[in-house]
A and B are shown apart, each in its own frame.
Chain A
Amino acid sequence: MATVSLHSLVKRYGNVPVVHGIDLAVADREFIALVGPSGCGKSTTLRMIAGLEDISGGEIRIGGRKVNDLPPRSRNISMVFQSYALYPHMTVAENMGFSLKIAGKPQGEIETRVAEAAKTLGLEELLERRPSQLSGGQRQRVAMGRAIVRNPEVFLFDEPLSNLDAKLRTQMRIEIKKLHAKVNSTVIYVTHDQVEAMTLADRIVIMRDGHIEQVGTPEDVFRRPATRFVAGFIGSPPMNLEEATVEDGKLVFAGGEALPLPRQFRDKVEAGRKVVFGLRPDDLYPTGHGIHSGEEAEVHEVEQAVMLTEPLGNETLVFTEFAGREWVSRMLNPKPLKPGEKVRLSFDLSQAHLFDAETGTTLRT
């Protein structure tokens, strides 16, 4: 049973703040993913929770207990490092059993628990090897094994899959999901990879420059991004985002092109306001090749010349120019298109997002 909560958590290196007072409440047994661009403070936050990094301000509570000044060993956590951090001089079995040995558990119990973890992770054959005799994926599993034998209240993962190839990563992602269902601990999982975050997490925390931009379920952050940054960060290929000015029922772009103001924003956004219009590639498609996204679809069609296509097999990404900028659209049931060819593009405005141009926050209410 462990909740984790951060209250106005601050980290400064010298005088340089890198985490600017973040608040977060993680429920017991929740799987939380921390995502954000490189250098935004994800690892720093995780390491503060682990106790590997001093806290410059604010408070961390694990299971309701304030842990600011407790060393890592008193926090009942385990951590999987990006570089695995296995003990090079110990065998796989010794690596996994090390924490139990330190805790003074009897040899018999250590062996059973290591054997159990090894079975879960498919490491039985490798128990007598040393880390240098293992492949990357195997090392990764040993690192996981080392974390699970302890039965901690909280698991911390710092980009555990980033050193693996794509196929292995997919495989391990599934393993981690199964593992979480089985061990039922609280998990805080740092990753670069939004697919990992979307598929694994109960809730996603999106960080930027030491701030939290949004906390929400994968559905939330994808469907209802709170800020322009989240909108651009989550989703692949990224959302089309373009500045525009609201003028009586229209969105006017810098080059003079216009789109109707989406219905859900009428009467909510006053004329003259500078906004950022956002539309996912899924909601912009060559007419007849889109996802029919329901009854309230509000489709606006524009004819454009194709600049470039990226065929992906089951779909093709079509790049066209509109309002002085490249727009990505997703074409389902693709048919071959040549650069320069004219296509009719459907803008599904019912799915459009508007953000304040200054603050970047959503105008959806």
Chain B
Amino acid sequence: MKSWRLPAPYLLLLPAFIVLAAVVVVPLLLSLYSSFTPFRLTRPDSIWTFIGLRNYERLFTDWEFWVAFGRTVLLLTVALNLEMVLGLGLAVLVEKATRGQRLLRTIMMFPMMFSPVLVGFQFKFMFNDNIGLINNALQGLGLTDQAIPWLIDGTLAFIAILTAEIWSSTAVFAIFILAGLMAMPKEPVEAARVDGCTPWQTFRFVTWPYLMPFAFIAMTIRSLDIARAYDIVKIMTDGGPAKRTEILWTLIARTGYSDARMGLANAMAYIAILLSIVFTAMFFRQLAKARAQIAAEW
């Protein structure tokens, strides 16, 4: 009797399946499962207690969680919009430059070369209320005579974090939009000028519709980035002081590692992932629409 053997293609793919399962699927399922338990790192056997949706129920009424959630959405919205406007401005300026354009393009990308952790430290130093560059400059110029508590006041700290985020990542938008500008055919713009458009109308009705898909690609990439923005916030404020700048990921990390409540943290993380998925899906929809509009061939 012939013994049954796995067909060759499956056999050959098996190692890949096993590795993938071990490093991706199993941890994913495990974390999903643990979000249904009161699992604490300090009491390993608690992972066996199944409590159903209790973690999720708790989160739905957890004010602190929803504040962090809202703050994350706010950060996403404000940062993405500002980055897009600034990136667009940068791209248009660089595209206008008749000489030194390559150099400008390179310089534009500098912020992206730094690790977010370094950016965090840099801005933490700059915004420091005693020794920071910014207060120093403001006082030196006589614009204010007292130290502004940049990283201590909730709103100001939020602005400081935003600044760091924007500084480090506006280039993403600028690069995509610049690529769009450079790929754009010149004739429709000229046709618009002949058709009676002012420079602003030309931009608004002809150039911008063409650039939109490029901006949405940058949006999609950046929305994933910010939705998991942890490093800069962790370094600059660590969600503090007194949770005034707590965002989802700092909250989750604290719950999981400091408070050791891994089950609850995993439940939060799954809700946060939903947020990312919603944003990404939204941008993909916009992208598809914009692409169909300009009838892009990609």
Interface residues, chain A, with chain B CB atoms under 8 Å away: 50-52, 71-73, 77-79, 81, 83-89, 98-99, 102-103, 130-133, 146, 150
Contacts and interface: CB of A to CB of B under 8 A. Distances in A.
Nearest to A99: B195
Contacts of B196: 73, 99, 102-103, 150
B245 to A, nearest CB: 41
B12 interface: no
B206 A72 contact: no
Most buried by B among A73, A79, A99: A73
A81 B197 contact: no
Interface string B168-204: 0000000000000000010110111111111001000
Contacts of B197: 73, 102
Nearest to A156: B194
A87 B197 CA distance: 13
Contacts of A77: 194
Nearest to A103: B196
B123 interface: no
A51 B293 CA distance: 29
Contact of B195 (A83, A89, A98, A130): A98
Given A83-B187, A130-B295, A131-B295, A89 B194 contact: no
Given A51-B193, A86-B188, 7 more contacts: A52-B193, A79-B190, A81-B187, A83-B185, A83-B187, A103-B196, A150-B196
Interface residues of B, number: 20
A13 B198 CA distance: 25
Closest 5 CB pairs of A and B: A85-B187, A132-B295, A99-B195, A85-B191, A73-B196
Given A81-B191, A83-B187, A89 B198 contact: no
A87 B194 contact: no
B259 to A, nearest CB: 52
A146 B185 CA distance: 18
A132 B296 CA distance: 9
Contacts of B21: none
Interface of B: 185, 187-188, 190-198, 201, 205-206, 209-210, 293-295
A88 B192 CA distance: 12
Contacts of A72: 190, 193-194
A133 B292 CA distance: 12
A102 B201 contact: yes
B240 to A, nearest CB: 47
Nearest to B297: A132
B272 to A, nearest CB: 35
A81 B190 contact: yes
A219 B268 CA distance: 86
28 contacts: A52-B194, A71-B193, A72-B190, A73-B193, A73-B194, A73-B196, A73-B198, A79-B190, A79-B194, A81-B187, A81-B190, A81-B191, A83-B187, A85-B187, A85-B188, A85-B191, A86-B191, A87-B205, A87-B209, A88-B188, A88-B210, A89-B210, A89-B293, A89-B295, A98-B205, A102-B195, A132-B295, A133-B295
A89 B185 CA distance: 13
